[in-house]
């Protein structure tokens, strides 16, 4: 049934009239450019295409292992939890809730869905589309509420599993309230390393700009910390990144309102960073002008602050530097080849290992024997790590896993592996039908 529903819904989202409707609807509630909002619709449509026909059935593939004697065999099954909850954030009003909701349904669960109330109209409309495509109305409960009310519902309803996508602070509170029965795709202070091989300067600058400032930096995968190898210091990378950032404008929402930080709080953070010895403002650091964005939201120009590597790793500075600012802001630093172990140590100390990029086509730098015991990929843990010249931190499609690593509570999204991990548990059924041997007798007590 869900294969059929997915096929019909994928077809609907492929229609220009429907995809444009959802793209514009996303723009009404989440400050994104048209192309960024359309990206959500496109990824959602391709995801639904992936699970047409028998692909939902194949998610529940089981296995059998021969037993110890005739008539015995063990079967491993993917088993639904039953009553589950899904809580998703404001920054992806369509893609995240649809992918997680359908994953929960594919595996046989009964979900209650709560989307951030600022953007929940998008999913309300999508549920109506799914109903039209055959989704039984009783299969999904949809609630609009504030966080406090939802927290009370979770504690009283006691779902067997809750998927939470959002801030680390709320994630940790829920993990305690729900006694660990939770999967998390929480915040990420995501890093990018530019390796020693300098090439394709314009392309690298463009990807860095997209990773840091698309959607005004309001992605859990946004580039928060950029490590630049000393070989890049001879190039015009920073000036090109500055030019790209400065062409963003409010009129087309290539930069726009920040919904979780005020302008003053972001500029205060910039000023604190500039007190670190050797730090400097590379560009930005000013409020947007000529707008009517309410003061409860943030509105600043795309901003980058340089902080020396040796200062970043100092205990008193590290917490400040790695504070996630969910807006158009990043930290930039540089490093020498001999300082790679310091870079790796800084990465290991981070608490949210979501996305990362190692921009290099040098295989020795990526993972082999650059410094004998220090391999970039081998010594990092981020769950979605891009490696190579075209490496990025944002823009995950539906065809690869997206989620953190290094935490047993980590949740994935998009792929069959992610769906099975998050929305089902393993159950083993051992069939032991005999026969009992003809000459069997009751043995002595043991």
Quick one: which of 258, 268, 323, 326 has its CA closest to 295? 258
Could you confirm whether 220 is annotated as catalytic? yes
**Residue 126 to residue 108: CA distance in whole angstroms:** 20
Asked if residue 41 lies in contact with residue 13, where contact means CB atoms within 8 angstroms, the answer is: yes
**Residue 199 to residue 361: CA distance in whole angstroms:** 9
Quick one: which of 59, 60, 126 has its CA closest to 88? 126
Could you confirm whether 311 is annotated as catalytic? no
Catalytic position from the list 52, 215, 220, 324: 220
Catalytic position from the list 95, 185, 208, 324: 185
Catalytic residue ranges: 185, 220
């Amino acid at each position: 049934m869900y294969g059929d529903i997915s096929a019909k819904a994928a077809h609907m989202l492929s229609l220009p009239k429907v995809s444009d409707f959802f793209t514009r609807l996303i723009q009404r509630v989440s400050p994104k450019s048209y192309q960024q909002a359309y990206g959500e619709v496109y990824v959602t449509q391709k995801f639904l295409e992936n699970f047409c026909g028998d692909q939902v059935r194949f998610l529940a593939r089981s296995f059998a292992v021969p037993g110890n004697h005739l008539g015995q065999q063990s079967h491993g099954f993917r088993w639904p939890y039953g009553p589950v909850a899904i809580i998703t954030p404001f920054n992806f009003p369509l893609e995240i809730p649809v992918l997680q909701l359908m994953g929960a349904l594919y595996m046989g669960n009964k979900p209650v869905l709560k989307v951030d109330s600022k953007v929940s109209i998008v999913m309300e409309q999508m549920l109506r589309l799914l109903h039209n495509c055959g989704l039984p109305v009783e299969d999904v409960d949809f609630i609009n509420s504030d966080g406090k009310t939802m927290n009370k519902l979770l504690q009283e309803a006691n779902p067997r599993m809750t998927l939470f996508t959002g801030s680390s602070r709320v994630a940790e509170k829920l993990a305690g309230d729900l006694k660990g029965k939770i999967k998390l795709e929480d915040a990420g202070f995501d890093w990018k390393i530019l390796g020693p091989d300098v090439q394709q300067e314009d392309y690298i600058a463009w990807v860095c700009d997209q990773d840091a400032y698309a959607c005004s930096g309001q992605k859990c995968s946004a580039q928060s910390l950029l490590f630049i190898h000393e070989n890049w210091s001879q190039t015009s990378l920073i000036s090109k990144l500055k030019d790209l950032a400065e062409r963003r404008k409010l009129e087309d929402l290539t930069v726009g309102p920040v919904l979780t930080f005020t302008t003053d709080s972001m500029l205060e953070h910039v000023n604190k960073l500039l007190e670190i010895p050797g730090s400097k403002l590379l560009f930005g650091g000013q409020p947007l002008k000529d707008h009517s964005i309410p003061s409860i939201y943030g509105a600043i120009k795309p901003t980058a602050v340089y902080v020396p590597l040796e200062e970043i790793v100092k205990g008193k500075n590290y917490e400040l530097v790695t504070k996630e600012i969910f807006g158009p802001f990043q930290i930039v630093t540089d490093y020498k080849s001999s300082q790679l172990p310091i870079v790796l140590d800084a990465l290991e100390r981070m608490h949210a290992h979501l996305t990362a990029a190692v921009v290099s086509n040098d295989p020795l730098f990526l993972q082999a024997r650059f410094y004998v015991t220090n391999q970039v990929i081998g010594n990092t843990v981020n769950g979605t790590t891009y490696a190579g010249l075209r490496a990025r931190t944002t823009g995950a499609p539906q065809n690869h896993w997206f989620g953190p690593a290094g935490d047993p509570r980590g949740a994935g999204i998009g792929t069959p592996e992610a769906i099975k991990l998050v929305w089902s548990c393993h159950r083993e059924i051992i069939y032991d039908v005999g026969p009992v041997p003809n000459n069997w007798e009751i043995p002595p007590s043991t």
